[in-house]
Amino acid sequence: MMLAAGALVLAACSGGEPAPSSFPGLSLDGNDAYLTSNQHVSKFNAATGQEAWRFPASQDSNNPRGPFAGKPLKLGNVVIVGGTIGATGQADPHLYGLDATSGQEVWRWQSPNITATHREFVDGVITDGKLVFAPSGDGNLYALDVTDNKPQLKWTFGGTNKKWARPAYEDGKLFVPSLDHSLYILDAATGKQIGQFTANASIASTPAVKDGIAYFGSFDRFIYAVDATGKQVWQSSERLSGWVWCDALLHEGRLYVGDAKGGLYALDASNGKVLWRAFTSGANRAQPVVAGDKLYVVSFDNYVYSVSLNPQVDNNGNVQLTRLIDNGLGRRLLSTPALHDGVLLVPLFDGDVKVTAISLETNQKLFEYPLKPQATPAP
Amino acid sequence: MGNIFDLLLINPLTNALMLLYGLLFNSYVLAIIVLTLIIRLITLPLTLKQQVSSYKMQAMQPQMKALQEKYKNDPQTLQAEMRKLGFNPLSGCLPLLIQFPILIGLYQAITRTLATTPLSLLELGSHVYSFLPNISRLVPINSTFFLWDLSQPDKLFIIPILVVVTTYFSNKLMTPPSTDPTMKQTNQMMQMMMPLMFGFFMLSTPVGLGIYWIVSNLVGVLQYYLTKPQLDRAKALHAAPVAGAPAAAGVTAASAKPLFEPPKSKVKVKSTGRVNRSSPVQDKNAKKS
């Protein structure tokens, strides 16, 4: 029994992940970078790493805020972020509106579905310019009017399982992924369902949408192209190596997407034919980024990789990736980097460093956010 | 090391759990119960070996005590004599040590498959077998069972209480009674503390794990009752014939036949029902008497 107890303690300790359990989110607005990372939301200068504010400035145990996750959305002078679930199961089920200048809380909103166990906002929110659309762990998609900083629920679209990915918006339509295996197409103004496509497994990534076609992957390891009625246009020519939890990137007629077993694939967006594949040694959850004539991808294995957009493909259809920094960044990389003036800002999943800035010209680290405090010179 | 552990233990258990979930009408509770039974069945020889060993050690306590007293100033001879007696401190621990990683693996498999957070779901994705594509259709696991969400701690405290009760009774049954007062006191303390400790853990661990623990305890109790006659025989077989005391009542030459662990060649069962050993210590004891 002692051994059993020891085993349980050990398992609890060794198996317990570090505090963060949802993916950080980074978005840019000019020189301003907004970041959700575990217990904080922060704003920093994308060129220098200088922090402007951090929310909450201090944690009130009677009224805790966070953890936070997902891509922050700046709407007017308000930054909207979602509370998420923590490693030990505690969750913050609120959406927050923060003053973009000061980082002060302007409003806070929670869904009326207060009895649901899962109410987290894992991936942030999007907007069509009028309403804010918030997918929730309780299975619903909420449409809010946040005019005058008074959030009002306009409509709710239900579902049978968690919605852990932001929807995509195009031309008055929302493409809403769900872990219940379906992609729902809704009228953004009313929330009325227009179409539905059902894959063979969960859909946890935000589709890339262009000209009425949504491109996305599923845990069934296929990539799909679906039109605005929910009709399948194509399915990828092969199964990927793992679950797809990576937002597909559509660029010049090609689709770039990673999978949970380290695969990175390029597909022809017109027919779903796999053009080439490459492999990292960790899950590829973050959306790839194009800069110049290169594709950049960050991986769970802590490395940042690059590959030419027109790479040398071997007879098996594979290409080689190049590591940007030989030793990697020392942490798991699960969130989509942001590109700012030739610098790749890479969010780190855990650890003290939240973002590493890498110059794509020199492939060297420029700074790490938060900046280390300057040593005071001795008198 | 972590990768080997994943490859050999956690991944098979994770996939087995999900496979069972699919086969058993998408009931995660049934999947846990069946997997627990399978694991208990696979580890049955080890469990029995460990139990027999505990009983054997307990039965040999008087002899060991006598030896310790006799050779208290000569540890080397004491060690040699203890070995001759059949004393092996690892024989009880080794089977448990082998079960140790299984327990950790199962804990990991349960928490992994329940995947309550985005990170744990992503990690699950890298551990499911590609050659079983239908498994991915089962995700996310339906974690609702009766009053509970299996992925969350029990706010009703029913599961922690059941864990405490079943652990207490299973512990009480499994621990062989001791004649040594110190050992007896330690056992009593353990029998109280361990269930409380497990109950405490269950306040913050998913209900699914609590269900595994309860089922495991109940199976252990059932297993104990089914194997009790054999354990009693093993105990009697190794009971100390100090001062020519008769072996345990009811142990005849026929019934003394070992079932799990063949006795060493030193053990000779006579038709009188007495168990004699060729151990020099016992011979000396017998002569003294």
DSSP category for residue A260: T
Contact A242 B194 (CB under 8 A): no
Residue B268's pLDDT band (cuts 50, 70, 90): very low
Give the residues across from A105 on adjacent strands: A98
Higher per-residue pLDDT: A189 or B130: A189
Asked if A240 and A223 count as a contact pair (C-beta separation under 8 A), the reply is yes
Which residue, among A60, A16, A61, A65, has the nearest Cα to A38 in the 3D structure? A65
CA distance B76 to chain A (A): 29
Three-state DSSP class for A241?
A: coil
Three-state DSSP class for A62?
A: coil
Residue B246's pLDDT band (cuts 50, 70, 90): very low
Higher per-residue pLDDT: B205 or A345: A345
**Is pLDDT at B285 greater than 50 in this prediction?**
no
Contact B104 A204 (CB under 8 A): no
Q: Which residue has the tokens 């069509």?
A: A128
Per-residue tokens: A146? 């946040």
Q: What angle do CA A80, A82, A87 make, to 5 degrees?
A: 155
A243, A247, A301, A336: best to mutate for the B interface, most B CBs within 10 A: A243
Asked if A52 and A43 count as a contact pair (C-beta separation under 8 A), the reply is yes
Question: pTM higher than 0.80 for the full model?
Answer: yes
**What is the model's pLDDT at position A70?**
97
**How far is it, in rounded angstroms, from Cα A327 to Cα A298?**
13
Contact A161 B140 (CB under 8 A): yes
**Is pLDDT at B272 greater than 70 in this prediction?**
no
* Mean pLDDT for all residues in chain B: 76
Q: How far is CA A185 from the centre of its chain?
A: 20
Highest mean pLDDT: which range of B24-38, B133-147, B225-239: B24-38
Highest mean pLDDT: which range of B2-16, B180-194, B224-238: B2-16
**What is the model's pLDDT at position A372?**
86
Question: What does the pLDDT look like over B54-66, one tens digit per residue?
Answer: 777 777 777 777 8
**What is the model's pLDDT at position B239?**
62
Name the residue in chain B with its Cα closest to that of A198.
B137
Instruction: Summarize the confidence of residues B128-134 as an average pLDDT.
Output: 87
**What is the model's pLDDT at position B267?**
42
**What is the model's pLDDT at position B273?**
41
**Is pLDDT at B282 greater than 80 in this prediction?**
no
Query: Nearest by CB to A260, which of B108, B122, B152?
Result: B122
Asked if A368 and A357 count as a contact pair (C-beta separation under 8 A), the reply is yes
Q: Would you list the DSSP string of A28-40?
A: EETTEEEEEEBTE
Cα radius of gyration rounded to whole Å, chain B = 23
**What is the model's pLDDT at position A17?**
39
If phi over 0 gives left and psi between -120 and 50 gives alpha, with beta otherwise, what is residue A70?
Answer: left
**Is pLDDT at B270 greater than 50 in this prediction?**
no
**What is the model's pLDDT at position B59?**
73
Higher per-residue pLDDT: B64 or B180: B64
Question: What does the pLDDT look like over B102-128, one tens digit per residue?
Answer: 878 888 898 889 888 999 999 999 899
Q: Which residue has the tokens 């080997």?
A: B4
Contact B122 A245 (CB under 8 A): yes
**What is the model's pLDDT at position B94?**
61
**What is the model's pLDDT at position B95?**
58
CA distance A221 to chain B (A): 9
Asked if A225 and A272 count as a contact pair (C-beta separation under 8 A), the reply is yes
Q: At what angle do helices B44-59 and B28-42 cross, to 10 degrees?
A: 50
How many other CB atoms are there within 10 angstroms of residue A65's CB atom?
19
Asked if B62 and B240 count as a contact pair (C-beta separation under 8 A), the reply is yes
pLDDT in tens, chain A (379 residues): 444 555 455 444 444 434 689 999 999 999 999 999 999 999 999 999 999 999 999 888 888 899 999 999 999 999 999 999 987 767 899 999 999 999 999 999 998 888 777 889 999 999 999 999 999 999 999 999 999 999 999 999 998 799 999 999 999 999 999 999 999 999 999 999 999 999 999 999 999 999 999 999 999 999 999 999 999 999 999 999 999 999 999 999 999 999 999 999 999 999 999 999 999 999 999 999 999 999 999 999 999 999 999 999 999 999 999 999 999 999 999 999 999 999 999 999 999 999 999 999 999 999 999 998 876 666 6
Contact A242 B111 (CB under 8 A): no
**Is pLDDT at B178 greater than 70 in this prediction?**
no
**What is the model's pLDDT at position B228?**
80
Residue B244's pLDDT band (cuts 50, 70, 90): very low
**What is the model's pLDDT at position B238?**
65
CA distance B119 to chain A (A): 5
B interface toward A at CB cutoff 8 Å?
93, 96-97, 99-100, 103-104, 107-108, 111, 116-123, 125-126, 128, 130, 133, 136-137, 139-140, 149, 151-153, 167, 171, 174, 190, 194, 197-198, 201, 204-205
Give the residues across from A152 on adjacent strands: A145
**Is pLDDT at B265 greater than 60 in this prediction?**
no
Q: Is the dihedral of CA A242, A247, A251, A255 positive or negative?
A: positive
**Is pLDDT at B203 greater than 80 in this prediction?**
yes
Per-residue tokens: B93? 């621990």
Q: At what angle do helices B89-114 and B44-59 cross, to 10 degrees?
A: 140
CA A177, A181, A183, A184: dihedral to nearest 10 degrees? -100
- HEC sequence for chain B: CHHHHHHHHHHHHHHHHHHHHHHCCCCHHHHHHHHHHHHHHHCHHHHHHHHHHHHHHHHCHHHHHHHHHHCCCCHHHHHHHHHHHCCCHHHHHHHHHHHHHHHHHHHHHHHHHHCCCHHHHHHHHCCCCCCCHHHHHHCCCCCEECCEECCCCCCCCHHHHHHHHHHHHHHHHHCCCCCCHHHHHHHHHHHHHHHHHHHHHHCCCCHHHHHHHHHHHHHHHHHHHHHHHHHHHHHHHHCCCHHHCCCCCCCCCCCCCCCCCCCCCCEEECCCCCEEECCHHHHHHHHHC
What are the backbone dihedrals phi and psi of residue A304, each rounded to the nearest 5 degrees, phi first? -105, 130
Its ipTM equals 0.92
* Number of Cβ pairs < 8 A linking chain A and chain B: 120
**What is the model's pLDDT at position B62?**
77
Burial (0-12, 13-18, 19+ Cβ within 10 Å), B267:
middle
**What is the model's pLDDT at position B287?**
43
CA distance A369 to chain B (A): 22
Per-residue tokens: B164? 């405490």
**Is pLDDT at B250 greater than 50 in this prediction?**
no
Question: What does the pLDDT look like over B64-110, one tens digit per residue?
Answer: 778 888 888 888 888 887 777 776 666 656 656 666 788 788 888 98
- Bond before A370 cis per omega within 30 degrees: yes
Asked if A27 and A72 count as a contact pair (C-beta separation under 8 A), the reply is yes
**How far is it, in rounded angstroms, from Cα B166 to Cα B251?**
32
**How far is it, in rounded angstroms, from Cα B70 to Cα B280?**
13
